[in-house]
Chain A
Amino acid sequence: MLTNDEQKLLELIATDFRMSSDELSIQTGLSKEFIEERIKQWEEEKIIAQYCPLINWERTGEPMVTALIDVKVLPQRGYGFDKVARRLQKFPEIKAVYLMSGGYDLSLLIEGKTMQEVALFVAEKLAPLEHVTDTTTHFILRRYKQNGVELLGEEDIPERLVISP
């Protein structure tokens, strides 16, 4: 369990990982030593797994498609779904792997340059895999919001008065 200070610090890093330990210290009132020690520990424990900016690729004009794929899998004795999941996560095209409740077993997030590239990956690599019994591919048409950030032309916030009591 995290202490209140740790929780506060981790949430702040999650929203802006570019803040220096000096800045973090000024804004939280926590000592610089405490902050640096915790961050080091969290990095070692993979609690901070990666520092990763959220890129709005659509705005760059670069071709990119993302698909969510429902995968049905035959669970294996002694391993459940783990063995297949661990095998799947090795593919660099697959960006996320989740075990799901409900109508299918694994949910994959796949990125590629074109729909064809993704479709080909599913047909040639994913569907023929041993224990995979069924796949359904959903292409993402538009990303409105991700990681709590509104990606499409955020509403302009009306301006406040310059000075008010």
Chain B
Amino acid sequence: MNQYLSPIAASLPPSGIRRFFDLASTMKNVISLGVGEPDFVTPWTVRESGIFSLEQGQTMYTSNSGLIELRQALSWNMGKKLGLEYNPKNEILVTVGASEAVDLAMRALLGPGDAALIPDPAYVSYGPCAALAGAEVHYVPTRAEEDFRLRVEDLERAYTPNTKVLVLSYPNNPTGAIMTWEDYQPIAKFVQDHDLIVLADEIYSDLTYSGNHTAFASLPNMRNRTLHINGFSKSYAMTGWRIGYVAGHPDIIQAMTRIHQYTMLCAPITAQVAALEALRSAEQSMQDMVATYDRRRRLMVHGFRKIGLSCFEPLGAFYTFPSIKATGLTSEEFAEELLREEKVAVVPGNAFGPSGEGHIRCSYAYSTEQIQEALNRMERFVSKRIK
């Protein structure tokens, strides 16, 4: 039936993770470091508020933009944590996960003939969402020796006159790289000079381990050029609730809200109620989770370096991105042989773009016991291959 597919849908490549997922799913006793979600369950106070809202019969649609109480709380929270000011009435849209916000932003901003710049490696959905909007995608390489920070020279090289959108996703999945206020200065100038809109996916903003997160929208003159995309999945361990948000200039938010209203109508009310409770009372739970991630992060980086895999220090998200070049294997060979031989699942770096080749993504959203066991197995595996 392929002849019935639209050309865009037919040309969308399957996610690079898919093939590997199918392989890993068939095996038993696998220790996986391959998961991009917290190992914690949503804090009880948050779950309980969702349950209570159902008992109360809160099962209706909300306004397209989301519950006003939630948008007010989001506005306050972004102000307090990131120094961003958004009007809850017309500058914030509650979405079905940050993923929907990415899709809406691409569709609201891009069309055939336009181009988007996307850092490489990066989360898998930016390119396909831009392509679904009909736009061209230009990937901008980042490198381990520069701690996977985005450099303006590479942006200039990838820029074409039809470029309209720049995607920034820091802290970064898969590398764990962050961008500081200083790192962002030349990027902001580049954005201004070329009159771009920035899609800043900062879903990991609460998970940083060295000082406070810098929101790109907080840089001078960047607020109106930036869509700040965020959500509850990573910070509050709420992946399955599918609840996120986007904040930005009212004109763009309004256009996104129109698309949202025709496609999604509104985010699920139970998730919205729970998200509100998360903002009100789960800050301490979240800080405890961040402290736990930080310990595991150190354990994992230390472990990789000890077994001879060079690993830059990731300062955000919950991933390490060690280089496996010393083994002489490609990312896919490494991941596949490791899975078959030692039953450890990691994600090959090239699943996130060509610049990820030579690396593997290992999540530390696992208990220290699991991480230690995986490191032991990997040590056995690597020692046979590094001379």
Contact = CB atoms under 8 A, between A and B. Distances in A.
Contacts of B125: 165
B34 A162 contact: yes
Given A163-B20, A163-B347, A12 B32 contact: no
How many chain A residues sit at the interface, stated as a range, is 10 to 19
Interface in A25-42: 26-29
A26 B39 contact: no
B158 interface: no
A160 B368 contact: no
B124 A165 contact: yes
Nearest to B209: A29
A27 B34 CA distance: 21
B351 to A, nearest CB: 8
A165 B295 contact: no
A30 to B, nearest CB: 10
B259 to A, nearest CB: 23
Contacts of B124: 165
A157 B15 CA distance: 27
Interface in A110-165: 157, 160-165
B24 A26 contact: no
Contact of B17 (A26, A27, A28, A163): A163
A27 B35 contact: no
Contacts of B20: 163
Given A160-B35, A163-B32, 4 more contacts: A162-B30, A162-B32, A163-B35, A164-B36
Interface of A: 8, 12, 26-29, 157, 160-165
17 contacts: A26-B298, A27-B296, A27-B299, A28-B298, A157-B41, A160-B39, A161-B35, A162-B32, A162-B345, A163-B17, A163-B35, A163-B345, A164-B34, A165-B36, A165-B123, A165-B125, A165-B173
